[in-house]
Amino acid sequence: MRHLLSTADLPREVATALLDTAEALKQSLLGREVRKLPTLRGRTVVTLFYEQSTRTRASFEIAGKWMSADVVNISAGDSSVTKGESLRDTAFTLAAMGADCVVIRHPASGAAHRLADWVSTHVVNAGDGSHQHPTQALLDAATLRDRLGTLNGRTVTIVGDVLHSRVARSNIDLLITLGAHVHLVAPPTLLPWGVENWGIREARGWPVTVGHDLDAALPGTDAVMMLRVQAERMRGQFFPSAREYSINYGLTEARLALLPEHAVVLHPGPMLRGMEIAHSVADSPRAAITEQVRNGVHVRMAVLYHLLAAQEGQA
Amino acid sequence: MTRPLLLRGIRPYGVGDPVDLLVRDGVIAELGAQLDGTGAERFDGGGLVALPGLVDLHAHLREPGREDAETIATGSAAAALGGYTAVFAMANTDPVADTAVVVEHVYRRGRDVGLVDVHPVGAVTAGLRGERLAELGAMAASAAAVRMFSDDGLCVHDSLLMRRALEYVRGLGGVIAQHAEDPRLTAGAQAHEGEVAARLGLAGWPAAAEESIVARDCLLARDAAASLHVCHVSTAGTVEVLRWAKERGIRVSAEVTPHHLLLTDERLAGYDPVNKVNPPLRTAADTAALRAALADGIVDCVATDHAPHAGQDKDCEWSAARPGMLGLQTALSVVLATMVRPGLLDWRGVARVMSERPARIGGATGQGRPIAVGEPATLILVDPDASWTVRGAQLASLADNTPFEGMELPGRVLVTMLRGAITAEDGKVLC
């Protein structure tokens, strides 16, 4: 693996290998007082963030540090980006300084692809516009494997703003690769154009099912993934009001009761409690939200390991 | 005057046996088999196809304002090499071509360069702001004699303003060329709204944003008895609207770009902004509909929308990149590949869609004329059997943003002649 740009082009065996490595790393660190592996000593990982982020960036930094990499953090607010430097020039600069891996978050879809075109360092996509956020999908898959044993044949319902969500896109691609069935629930305004038809004809699209009724979907669901509703969508006439959205698509206690006993609740965070997810639901044992965050570190360790330490020929 | 020139063994419109054509004083003096031509300079045509010089209704020459991307001189060179003898230069320069002063400047620069007739297009609204009409009459009355007006790059989206523009320009004997794009439907749009954009996370540019404006404008043109020209038609739905309007006698004409005939949004997968253009590359169903419409005349002509951009405006992330592609030097070859080779159009058809119709629509008298005795010697010679590989860096434009990079395309322009003067020969610009 040279880069991790998208889950769409991640073969099943590579995805599985990443998840297995994450699990092995988790086990090897379990109960350790000093959580430091020497694996990436002497390697430099740069996180290059053009958007605000707390958890993803901290997660990558911790992942790198636990494997003894030198981690340098750059964010758009305090860098030459604010002086008008292009992404391309920033990329050349970081490559010239000897960065082994650049972890990039950028508001433009495809920014990570462009970066990988320009420089020879390894590139990890930590979120590009509304395109992809592959490590989020991997950590979600790791969490679902922990809870459900396997994803093969399971039904995952993704609820909310699929149209603008990189979390949704990377999850749809990875979940399908891992053998799950994906069901999307959202008002039609928040679904990609024509997505209803993609599963029923020869298309490049996703073989997913689509509905607008959350109550109807929940009893047949093994996991429900709630997407964050962004404030600007509320102003953009995608739905009449936050209240109406919450009534129709919020995960309330009553809806939690519709889920099968074993079903898992996921949320990529940051959550809008009371909006897309009720306070009590977010804190219930069915919710795996803190497990997602914990798995995030191990998954990102696995990604850095496979990019920087694994030998050629390995995944 | 210069020496007469005898073109030997050429095939006008690619039909019949080779004939000789004698050019004297910028005019086709004789046409026939085995002309004498004593005293004339001789050019052995060897069966090359002769067409009237190509006319492009839609080019961005970037001067004044972005001379780092293209100038009237480099754009004229690209045009001559591509077989063009007249080019309409869009108004979205800096300053905007919305006054007689600016259009006369562009016109004079074009004349000084002398490779092609440069016809400035006047802006419809002052500063392209879509708020009030520019001084259309002054531009029409200027030395540039502007007959085509367009806010291209932006849509004249205010219905009342568009109505007034159509009515007013009717009095000038001109035409409004509309960039059909409802801006409310395309806010933030990055790519054709469809499966590819959805997967790539690029905000969609819906076909309805074009089709709804074309439908509205056709109705406005009907009621104003005015002439409407639709720029860069890109969707199958627009073709249906145009068919409806033409069947009812509405005075609407339309152009399609070479890139919308050949390329689809499948090319967006790698996020290379060389494929970013407005309107966006659409689907294979759209390219098929556009080819058929060009063949049957629902779409009148091919126009390049030649849009050079400096390297830094393309070598960046997708959403930061400017939309547009080079087109002047590749247009004929793309039309050969998409229309002639598949049998949708013969050479007479090429002359119609790339020369005669656009000259008529733009009011470029003296262009798009028949290859006949007494007509201006404004014509090109094309080797239909040659092919070439497109290299952006080798094109005459200052910019190199061609989406056809590395493609092998059929047909080569060997001679471009403007009123008897050879402007380009064998890949080199003359004069």
- Over the stretch A166-190, which tens digit does the pLDDT of each residue have? 999 999 999 999 999 999 999 999 9
Backbone angles phi, psi at B121, to 5 degrees: -90, 135
- Enumerate helices (H) and strands (E) in chain A, giving the number of each: 13, 9
pLDDT at residue B352 greater than cutoff 80: yes
Same domain, yes or no: A88 and A123: yes
Same domain, yes or no: A222 and A94: no
- Catalytic site includes residue B305: yes
pLDDT tens digits for range B392-414: 999 999 999 999 999 999 999 99
**Among A30-34, A309-313, B261-265, which is the least confidently predicted range?**
A309-313
Length of chain A: 315
pLDDT at residue B125 greater than cutoff 50: yes
pLDDT at residue B362 greater than cutoff 60: yes
* Residues of B with Cβ-Cβ distance to A107 under 8 angstroms: 319
**Among B32-41, B60-69, B105-114, which is the least confidently predicted range?**
B32-41
Residue B233's closest CA among B255, B217, B253? B255
What integer pLDDT is reported at residue A201 of this predicted model? 44
Q: Residue-wise over B316-346: b if at least 16 C-beta within 10 A, else e?
A: bbbbbbbbbbbbbbbbbbbbbbbbbeeebbe
Same domain, yes or no: A45 and A169: no
A192–B contact, CB cutoff 8 A: yes
Same domain, yes or no: A141 and A285: yes
Which of A117, A169, A198 minimises the CB distance to B195? A198
pLDDT tens digits for range B291-336: 999 999 999 999 999 999 999 999 999 999 999 999 999 999 999 9
B195–A111: do the CB atoms touch at under 8 Å?
no
B201–A129: do the CB atoms touch at under 8 Å?
yes
What integer pLDDT is reported at residue B37 of this predicted model? 86
**Which superfamily does CATH assign the domain made up of B5-49+374-429 to?**
Urease, subunit C, domain 1 (2.30.40.10)
pLDDT at residue A232 greater than cutoff 80: no
In a domain, A191, yes or no: yes
Same domain, yes or no: A127 and A138: no
Same domain, yes or no: A219 and A267: yes
What integer pLDDT is reported at residue A303 of this predicted model? 98
A128–B contact, CB cutoff 8 A: yes
Specify the amino acid at residue A24.
Answer: A
Interface of B with A (CB under 8 A): 190, 193-204, 206, 270-272, 312, 315-320
Domain count within chain A = 2
Mean residue pLDDT across chain B: 97
- What is the C-alpha to C-alpha distance for residues B268 and A113, in angstroms, rounded to an integer? 12
Mean residue pLDDT across chain A: 92
What integer pLDDT is reported at residue A312 of this predicted model? 47
Q: What percent of chain B has pLDDT over 70?
A: 100
Domain ranges of chain B: 5-49+374-429, 53-362
Helix (H, G, I), strand (E, B) or coil at A101: strand
pLDDT confidence tier of residue A17, bands split at 50, 70 and 90 = very high
pLDDT tens digits for range B114-123: 999 999 999 9
pLDDT confidence tier of residue A198, bands split at 50, 70 and 90 = low
In a domain, A313, yes or no: no
Same domain, yes or no: A138 and A108: no
- What is the C-alpha to C-alpha distance for residues B340 and B234, in angstroms, rounded to an integer? 20
Which one of B305, B313, B383, B400 is the catalytic residue? B305
Nearest-neighbour CA in chain A from B231: distance (Å): 26
Residue of A nearest to B202 (CA): A109
User: CATH topology for B53-362?
Assistant: TIM Barrel (3.20.20)
pLDDT at residue B169 greater than cutoff 80: yes
DSSP annotation of B278 reads S
Residue of A nearest to B270 (CA): A113
What's the average model confidence in pLDDT over A71-83? 77
* Residues of B with Cβ-Cβ distance to A86 under 8 angstroms: 312, 316
Which of B196, B201, B270 minimises the CB distance to A166? B201
pLDDT confidence tier of residue A82, bands split at 50, 70 and 90 = low
Which CATH number goes with the domain that contains A190?
Answer: 3.40.50.1370
Same domain, yes or no: A272 and A184: yes
- Residue in A114, A182, A195, A238 to test binding to B, most B beta-carbons within 10 Å: A114
- What is the C-alpha to C-alpha distance for residues B2 and B24, in angstroms, rounded to an integer? 8
Specify the amino acid at residue B104.
Answer: E
What integer pLDDT is reported at residue A78 of this predicted model? 64
A236–B contact, CB cutoff 8 A: no
The boundaries of the domain holding residue A97 are 7-132+296-308
C-alpha distance from residue B40 to each of A195, B378, B430 (Å): 67, 18, 19
- Looking at this predicted complex, what is its ipTM? 0.93
What's the average model confidence in pLDDT over B221-227? 98
- What is the C-alpha to C-alpha distance for residues A43 and A121, in angstroms, rounded to an integer? 12
Contact B346, B14 (CB under 8 A): yes
Residue A104's closest CA among A141, A79, A68? A79
B317–A87: do the CB atoms touch at under 8 Å?
yes
Same domain, yes or no: A70 and A189: no
pLDDT at residue A108 greater than cutoff 70: yes
Phi-psi region of A56 (alpha: psi -120 to 50; beta: other; left: phi over 0): alpha
Q: Which two tokens stand for residue B373?
A: 């005795």
A130–B contact, CB cutoff 8 A: yes
In a domain, A66, yes or no: yes
In a domain, A87, yes or no: yes
Contact B51, B43 (CB under 8 A): no
Q: Which two tokens stand for residue A72?
A: 């340098």
Q: How many A×B Cβ pairs under 8 Å?
A: 72
Same domain, yes or no: A88 and A152: no
In 10 A of CB A291, how many CB atoms?
17
Helix (H, G, I), strand (E, B) or coil at B338: helix
